[in-house]
Amino acid sequence: MNPDSQLKPYPTRRTLLRTAGIAAVAVPALAGCVTSGSDDKPAADSGAEKTADNPLGVKADAPLEVVVFKGGYGDDYAVKAEAKYTEKYPQAKVDHKGLQKVGEAMQPRFVGGNPPDVVDNTGAGRLDIGTLVSANQVSDLADLLDAPSLDQEGKKVRDTLLPGVIEDGTFGGKTVALNFTYTVWGLWYSKPLFAERGWTYPKTWDEMLALCATIKKAGLAPWTYQGKYPEYMNDPLLTMAAKAGGLDLVKAVDNLQPDAWKQEGLVQAATAFAELAGQGYLMSGSEALSHTESQAAWCQKKAAFIPCGSWLESEQKGVAPDGFDMVMGTVPALGGSDKLPVTAVQAASSESFLVPAKAKNAAGGKEYLRMLFSKASATAFAEANSTLPAVAGATDGLTLSSGLGSVRDAVTAARTDTLAFKFRTWYGPLAKAADDATGELINKRISPADWSTRIQKAADALAKDSTVTKYTR
């Protein structure tokens, strides 16, 4: 789902996950407020003794302030976790704020040294997590991750999360954010439409091209995409490249290694996607469409495939006709020598919760997150929002919609073969360079070789820029 789409005509949830440096509010003033002496120390937190029942040492009567992004998911799920907190700590006053412009409201509070105890740093204009980390403004969540799960006996919180969730919130070896939802990227189609036409979802790119030819002959466009935001096409392209080259290819890109974007897997994947345009398999006019327009056209069966993250089904409620029954398929394999199986998926977590370093009740903030990330809380969220939570097993036993069921099945089939490119979150300018180049590629304005050269030039410039904090994996 892309809940932020109700706020502005830009897929900000999507962008949050993959281009955090572009849409986030950079807060350079934060660096100035972290100085030597007492100012760089966390706010006093005179928590209680840590016990089996109180593993994080929460002071029973300490007030708790929670700020939550109130987008398409609403904030009822967060309020329910607060009720659980109040049930355990009835003396604690809980102050809840549901906001749409989190960064705008929180920037002066971080700079002033009086942030809330928990912040859901999500949505358009969120605070740049890289800036927060560099300014030592976020707490290390290791003690939360090592605390026992609230409702899964014998497991620590870290053991209850889906693959990649901890890594998604880790910067410089410290986990400073914990993401509540889990997004998977793939190719979407209407299951009844394919059954009616006798079409089989392709497992290889050769099969995809053959099917596209059949679809075109039937009078439908094989593909459309969210043309104004070519990042949507980058996802299957990069997933295909990662399957071909393996995780070493992904790490080379993220680590800004020389010639990383000229690796064979990337050039081959770019060549494959250039074929869609070259053979006329993209719906005419797709480049000019927004995400809502292209997705509506797809729901009208003007095109068979559309690339998107797992928020799509929820976003298309009220748009997709009854019986459309959309499902997500994994990106086809480039060839027989791929290093990752065809079942591998690109996945990442979102809805990013953090505990400020200067929170007055940091222990309470972490305990709140322990409650929010319980299996019961995650299951209730999945039922209410048709969205996969970051807690493993949260959808077990639920009757799922066609889309969410297909996403859950894809994650199950992938097992540990999940992948995620980090450069999008770490380096906003590089993400934009890659997206722009892909837009040019699939509209036949540059070649695959030019595509890789162009993005590599941007990566090299970034690698040489000493003002940019670098991350490695």
Span of 44-58, 126-140, 395-409, 451-465 with lowest mean pLDDT: 44-58
Q: What is the mean pLDDT of residues 54-69?
A: 97
DSSP state of 42: P
pLDDT band of residue 333 (cuts 50, 70, 90) is: very high
Task: Report yes or no: 114 and 107 within 8 Å, Cβ to Cβ.
Answer: no
Give Cα separations from 344 to 203, 341, 409, 411 (angstroms).
Answer: 12, 6, 12, 8
**How, if at all, do strands 178-190 and 303-309 pair?**
antiparallel
Identify the structural domains of the chain with CATH numbers, from first to last: 3-181+349-401 (3.40.190.10), 184-346+423-464 (3.40.190.10)
Distance of CA 422 to the CA centre of its chain: 11
Beta bridge partners of 221: 303
- Which 3 state secondary structure label does DSSP give 468? coil
pLDDT of residue 27: 57
Dihedral pair phi/psi, residue 346, rounded to 5°? -90, 125
Q: State the Cα–Cα distance between residues 180 and 165, nearest whole angstrom.
A: 9
- Residues of 350-360 as b/e, b for ≥16 C-beta within 10 angstroms? bbbbbbbbbbb
Segment 134-143 shows an average pLDDT of 95
Q: What is the mean pLDDT of the chain?
A: 90
Lowest-confidence segment of 253-257, 294-298, 420-424 by average pLDDT = 420-424
pLDDT at 282: 98
How many other C-beta atoms are found inside a 10 Å radius of the C-beta of residue 91?
Answer: 10
Hey, is 156 helix, strand or coil?
strand
Calpha distance 57→48 (Å, rounded): 5
Q: Token pair for residue 18?
A: 């993959």
pTM: 0.82
CA distances 19 to 130, 131, 425, Å, are 12, 14, 5
Q: Tell me what pLDDT residue 425 has.
A: 80
In the prediction, which pLDDT does 12 show?
A: 37
Q: pLDDT-derived band of residue 56, with 50, 70 and 90 as boundaries? A: very high
Helix (H, G, I), strand (E, B) or coil at 386: coil
Nearest to 281 by CA among 308, 305, 309, 312: 305
Query: 29 falls in which pLDDT band (50, 70, 90)?
Result: low
Q: Which amino acid is at 425?
A: T
Helical (H) or strand (E) element with 175? strand 174-175
| Token pair listed for 368 | 């709140």
Average pLDDT over residues 111-133: 90
In 71-204, where does DSSP find H-type helix? 76-88, 102-112, 129-134, 142-145, 165-168, 191-197
Range scoring the smallest mean pLDDT among 20-34, 84-98, 189-203: 20-34
Can you tell me whether residue 44 is helix, strand or coil?
coil
DSSP state for residue 330 in the 8-state scheme: P
> What's the confidence (pLDDT) of residue 219?
97
Which residues, in sequence order, are CB contacts of 181 under 8 Å at separation 6+? Answer: 73, 349, 350, 351, 381, 387, 388, 389, 390
CA distances from 136 to 65, 131, 172, 358, 360 (A): 20, 9, 12, 9, 16
Helix (H) or strand (E) holding 352, with range, is strand 345-354
